[in-house]
Structure 1
């Protein structure tokens, strides 16, 4: 366990240096960017070590893994983010532990989240997941709503009991005009964020960038980066 903590501490330090350097290059303050460590496929013991090392934001993408892990770590001062594609039949479980759901991409999910949050007596932060590879009216390869659908979905979240509209999230597209152009994709997300904030000034969160492209996200203006393998190592294969 000591070896694992040492390994995680070294990895965290490297990621921290990358974020700090990216902020410096972009003329931003380090505190403008929040690190979210994506702990999917890793055990609750790693989450505990990360908390000891000062991590305060963790993310999961599968409820069947996240729910027991969050329960085992419920005594820790953590903010839990759900970042995976979310089926409505998992919503009741997810709203029990997730402080933010970053992958909201359809009206039916908003309705389910609102109902679940009210029943749980919680306020759940929501990000509209934007698919920069989606045609108007469609959804992207990795989930998400087309840019043209942001305003309608954002309004729906903002007016839903138990929910709070916090901003936008994206995953760099693998296809379409932004494939291989992460910086351009993240700059486009920032433009969309500016548009959203005209109607919803408090929706300031912009979640973009992962282990491979966090620098591009910081350069574009992201407020949160989601880093997994650079902190925890190469993920075990899922069975």
Structure 2
């Protein structure tokens, strides 16, 4: 098994090459290491190799790992579907939430954040492929959701996130990444603080290079970094 450091070096080389092709500054793109089901010792290995942003998909697993790894100087990003009744845990433990996709969730997350005197950076999840199996607000309903969430004092909308349809050929995902970038540009036109809308969380192990070429600022990579996931979480 390759070390996390070796995998990270290869991924960074590919990210830098994608930035070069798109004429972008590599410093504008950050890697969120997806640690779902990854054992804590391997996460520590990754942090020692240079990882600073860690992403979890399940809130209870996130809680266990954040408590177990509280000595690490990292930022924890919640990147999975979040139920409104789990917003309390997210507000307590997570630094960012990428998956705000409905007002009910936003209102509860805002309430929990304000109880803790926090302002949580969030991304609005958009269902760019109009897939029934995917969470996310529709592109047509995005402006309305954005305006409502932007008015909540405990949340700071920083951009958009998506899980596009899966294709073996990563080039086929390009139109969906491009759409998310265009949607963010449109939101800046109605945003009270457009300068805060800087983030596009898109791209995973199989398509992150295309995502970077289309403007991703946060790429969520797990398998290419840590290898195949174990059957159960630690």
TM-score (norm 1): 0.90
Structure 2 match to 1:213: 207
Pairwise CA distance, 1:237? 2.4
Q: Which has the higher contact order (CA 8 A, sep 6+)?
A: 2
Q: What does 1:128-143 align with in structure 2 at a 5 Å threshold?
A: 128-134=124-130, 140-143=132-135
Pairwise CA distance, 1:88? 0.9
Structure 1 match to 2:218: 224
In 2: Cα distance, 1:19 partner to 1:180 partner: 16
In 2: Cα distance, 1:74 partner to 1:154 partner: 32
Pairwise CA distance, 1:180? 7.3
Q: What does 1:77-116 align with in structure 2 at a 5 Å threshold?
A: 77-116=73-112
TM-score (norm 2): 0.92
Q: Which of these residues, 160, 174, 196, is aligned with residue 168 of structure 1?
A: 160
CA contact (8 A) 2:77 2:98 kept: yes
User: What SS class does the counterpart of residue 80 from structure 1 fall into?
Assistant: strand
User: What SS class does the counterpart of residue 9 from structure 2 fall into?
Assistant: helix
Structure 1 match to 2:138: 146
Q: Which of these residues, 180, 186, 203, is aligned with residue 189 of structure 1?
A: 180
Pairwise CA distance, 1:148? 0.9
User: What SS class does the counterpart of residue 189 from structure 2 fall into?
Assistant: helix
In 2: Cα distance, 1:236 partner to 1:19 partner: 26
Pairwise CA distance, 1:74? 1.9
CA contact (8 A) 2:171 2:210 kept: no
> How many residues get paired?
228
Q: Which of these residues, 16, 38, 45, is aligned with residue 42 of structure 1?
A: 38
Q: Which of these residues, 69, 72, 94, is aligned with residue 73 of structure 1?
A: 69
User: What SS class does the counterpart of residue 95 from structure 1 fall into?
Assistant: helix
Q: Deviations over 1:101-135 (max 9, x none)?
A: 1111101000110011111222211111000122x
In 2: Cα distance, 1:94 partner to 1:164 partner: 15
Q: Which moved more, 1:153-162 or 1:77-86?
A: 153-162
Structure 2: unaligned runs, 5 residues or longer? none
Q: Deviations over 1:41-61 (max 9, x none)?
A: 012222222221111111001
Structure 1: unaligned runs, 5 residues or longer? none
In 2: Cα distance, 1:11 partner to 1:119 partner: 40
In 2: Cα distance, 1:74 partner to 1:95 partner: 16
Q: Which of these residues, 55, 60, 63, is aligned with residue 59 of structure 2?
A: 63
Structure 2 match to 1:125: 121
In 2: Cα distance, 1:142 partner to 1:198 partner: 27
In 2: Cα distance, 1:146 partner to 1:106 partner: 10
In 2: Cα distance, 1:216 partner to 1:238 partner: 31
